[in-house]
Amino acid sequence: MAATTRAARTVAVPLGGRSYDVLIGPDLLTEAGRLIAGRLGKARCGIVTDENVASHHLAALEASLRAEGRLKGSIVLPPGEATKSFRELGPLSERLLEMGLERGDLVVAFGGGVIGDLAGFAAGVLRRGIRFVQVPTTLLAQVDSSVGGKTGINTPQGKNLIGVFHQPSLVIADTDTLKTLPVREMRAGYAEVAKYGLIGNAGFFAWLEQAHEELFAFEQETLVTAIETSVKAKAAIVGRDEHETGERALLNLGHTFGHALEAWTGYSDRLLHGEGVAIGMCLAFRFSEHLGMCPAGTAERVARHLAAVGLPTKLADIPGDAADAETLVRLMGQDKKVRDGALTFILARDIGDAFIENNVPPGDVRDFLAREIAG
């Protein structure tokens, strides 16, 4: 196996013959060509990115791949959640074919969760599946969406309802790319970092309560440690439950609420994915308290920390018209975890002790949300 940059930390995702590494550290874009060539052979690379990432970082990645003779071309798409759509998937797939990518070549998903999900989906169906590399440039993508092989697009019926499980062959998380993120995007990604403490590592959540200011100041050791801890947690769960038949559903803490909120706001800038997850996690803990499953005051502690980093924590924090409980429950009915019309939620007994609750009556959720909306 090729050597990595000295500063990079490596987390293995254990999937037998499809195992892969996640490399985490600064200044990895300049090494990307060497890392890809050393680990994945002589494959040619087609980059998929968005306009925002391209303006800051595309030249560096192209130069790195070109130096190894691996660059086939680049495709630059519009930024934003609306890009995860059939409207973009078809033309993207055709452009990758026109680029001349063959089954042994690589799609390089260079961007945040939107690009990773869309480009990964295109790779999964192109020529019935070609390999791809994730080069995530947002905190959310580096700690969550780039790892685990979930790819897909959104539809009016809901988020990520069409897609495939298609594992990357390598993930290269250059922490320097986070320095060009708008602070709102950085905060949104932090929601997924906090999630890993909330679902199964109370000590990590307590550490974040003390260390979050250093993370947002880009103190390298704190930032890399937070990303590495998050990725290790996800890699372990994915290794045990790749296709979300059980334990992996824990990673959806806050997402059943959050995805419904995203759909309700039309996948617009009113609510970023991580912001929806932040509100969703607070709702999940308040719902757990409401059901008598979680000690009183726990939800307030969660909300207090997320608010301290600038994240929304309640429905009233979403700009624009107020949410409607009936509409939100209907949107939750499109969630991938619905079975026989009953909702599945990730609830909590305490911080660091989340569990899967099947068969939650929609009426209970509707009544709870109505109270939340009423304030």
CA 30 to chain centre: 24
CB burial of residue 28 (10 Å; 0-12, 13-18, 19+): buried
- Helix 273-290, helix 298-308: angle, nearest 10: 160
CB burial of residue 105 (10 Å; 0-12, 13-18, 19+): buried
Six-digit token string for 300: 């307030």
Gap between the Cα atoms of 12 and 22, Å rounded: 6
Under a CB-based contact definition with an 8 Å cutoff, are residues 332 and 261 in contact? no
Gap between the Cα atoms of 225 and 146, Å rounded: 17
- Helix 362-374, helix 325-332: angle, nearest 10: 140
Gap between the Cα atoms of 139 and 259, Å rounded: 19
Give the three-state DSSP class for 77.
Answer: strand
Give the residue numbers annotated as catalytic, written as ranges. Answer: 128, 150, 192, 234, 244, 248, 252, 255, 259, 273
Please choose, from the candidates 272, 59, 82, the residue with its C-alpha nearest in 3D space to the C-alpha of residue 181: 272
Give backbone dihedrals phi and psi of 151, rounded to 5 degrees, phi first: -130, 160
Amino acid at residue number 178: L
